[in-house]
């Protein structure tokens, strides 16, 4: 495949085929690829950098066996375990993040699905967060039912987060306690209710390059426009504790793949970036990352917000 032919194909169709996506991940000349992805970002993607932060509102004791996750009760990871946090504690965290200009705030809770008293407590937390002016609320609460999604919408939630994590063909190899079709059901239910959707995944789980393309094309088929791109951060005690670290170039090529496949998406830095240096971040921003989770993540530390904001501004983004 010729790179000029790839560019012409993109301008003719506005996206990439599976074969072209694989070429982006393998043989496309990197310098030219990143420059093209940058140009497409400037032409098609939102120019305002989208910042969000998350609160690990309920931690540990999860019934699922996701092979990367410190919060599964099946693995000895020494992760903190606690129930749903009090509204006052969550609001204090939200205010601190909002002071930095972070416009979105998400509650993330461990577990397959939130039920009973836990779900009611979460609705109480959202009611308290709703009193904070100018903050958009998001929810990452597992495999919600459609009725729960309706309740969350009524409580002020604007966006539902439900990561596919990886390609449908690879998902059974990294989780056996639920299927990717259940995640797709949540996404479609949320969309049917008029909720925004955020869905991405984790790179470096052991998936093939072909499966990275499949993952991207699946998100495109679901019309997802907010896409967190996590990088596996191996955690001691999990089945993926010895997984090799993703190479920098691999991530940059994935950013280009997503930008050329879904040109108007928010491509969001998420977990795992703290393993790399500032130049890694700068190149990824140039290639098309235009959103980020900032601050601490779930069970791993994020980068300092001040440093991140400086890098985002240096890349030319309005915050």
What span, in angstroms and rounded, lies between the C-alpha atoms of 211 and 172? 13
Do 138 and 125 meet the contact criterion of CB atoms below 8 Å apart? Answer: no
Q: 293 - beta bridge partners?
A: 52
| pLDDT tens sequence across 234-260 | 999 999 999 999 999 999 999 999 999
The pLDDT value given to residue 301: 42
What is the pLDDT, as a whole number, of residue 295? 79
**pLDDT over threshold 90, residue 305:** no
Mean pLDDT value across residues 137-154: 98
Tokens standing for residue 319: 């915050």
Q: In 3D, which of 154, 180, 157, 212 has the Cα closest to residue 23? A: 212
Cβ(67)–Cβ(240) below 8 Å = yes
How big is the chain, counted in residues? Answer: 319
Write down the mean pLDDT value for the chain. Answer: 95
**Which of the four pLDDT bands, split at 50, 70 and 90, describes residue 298?**
very low
Task: Report angle CA 180, 184, 186 to the nearest 5 degrees.
Answer: 115
Q: Can you tell me whether residue 58 is helix, strand or coil? A: strand
pLDDT at 35 over 90: yes
Helix residue spans in 222-296 (DSSP H): 248-261, 278-287
What does the pLDDT look like over 74-86, one tens digit per residue?
Answer: 998 988 999 999 9
Taking 60 as the threshold, does the pLDDT of residue 299 lie above it? no
Give, to the nearest 10 degrees, the angle between helix 209-221 and helix 248-261: 30
């Amino acid at each position: 495949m010729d790179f000029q032919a790839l560019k012409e194909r993109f301008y003719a169709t506005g996206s990439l085929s599976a074969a072209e996506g694989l070429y982006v991940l393998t043989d496309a000349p990197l310098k030219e690829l990143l420059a093209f992805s940058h140009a497409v970002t400037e032409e098609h993607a939102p120019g305002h950098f989208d910042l969000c932060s998350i609160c690990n509102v309920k931690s540990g004791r999860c019934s699922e066996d996701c092979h990367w996750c410190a919060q599964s009760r099946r693995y000895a990871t020494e992760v903190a375990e606690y129930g749903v946090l009090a509204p006052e504690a969550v609001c204090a965290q939200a205010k601190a993040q909002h002071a930095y200009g972070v416009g979105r705030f998400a509650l993330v809770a461990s577990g397959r699905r939130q039920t009973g008293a836990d779900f009611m407590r979460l609705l109480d937390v959202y009611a308290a967060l709703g009193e904070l002016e100018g903050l958009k609320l998001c929810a990452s609460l597992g495999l919600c039912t459609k009725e729960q999604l309706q309740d969350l919408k009524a409580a002020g939630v604007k966006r539902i987060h439900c990561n596919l994590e990886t390609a449908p063909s690879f998902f059974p190899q990294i989780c056996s306690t639920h299927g990717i079709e259940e995640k797709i059901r949540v996404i479609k239910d949320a969309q049917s209710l008029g909720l925004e959707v955020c869905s991405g995944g984790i790179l470096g789980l052991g998936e093939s390059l072909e499966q990275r393309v499949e993952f991207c094309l699946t998100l495109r088929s679901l019309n997802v426009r907010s896409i967190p791109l996590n990088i596996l951060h191996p955690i001691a005690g999990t089945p993926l504790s010895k997984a090799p670290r993703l190479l920098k170039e691999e991530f940059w090529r994935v950013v280009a793949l997503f930008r050329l496949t879904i040109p108007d998406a928010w491509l969001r830095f998420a977990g795992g970036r703290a393993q790399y240096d500032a130049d890694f971040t700068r190149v990824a921003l140039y290639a098309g990352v235009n959103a980020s989770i900032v601050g601490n993540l779930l069970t791993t530390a994020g980068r300092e917000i001040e440093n991140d904001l400086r890098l985002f501004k240096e890349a030319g983004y309005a915050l």
